[in-house]
Amino acid sequence: MNMQSARQKQAMQRGLWVIVALVTLTVVDFLIATQIPHGNLVYLAVFAFVEAGVILYYFMHITQLWRSHEEEEE
């Protein structure tokens, strides 16, 4: 197995774990919204921020905004 296919496999596994995490957070969001009748806003806001952070980090590559051009080429 060459280095490129090992990287692709690792990226696919990481992507799968991110999707599983987002689905799990969404299910928990739904359960909180439907099972806790009052006072669930704080819990929903926390889960929304966590989900947004995962999406920004993994799918939108937000950390690349602060990398120098030389680091990107490596």
pTM comes to 0.71
What is the rounded CA–CA span in Å between residue 22 and residue 29? 10
pLDDT tens-digit map of 18-66:
899 999 999 999 999 999 888 889 989 998 999 998 888 888 877 777 7
Residue appearing with tokens 């999707």: 19
Residue 36: count of CB within 10 angstroms of its CB: 12
All structural domains of the chain with their residue ranges:
3-73
Amino acid 74: pLDDT: 54
Given this model, what pLDDT does residue 14 score? 87
Contact 43, 32 (CB under 8 A): yes
- pLDDT of 72 reads 55
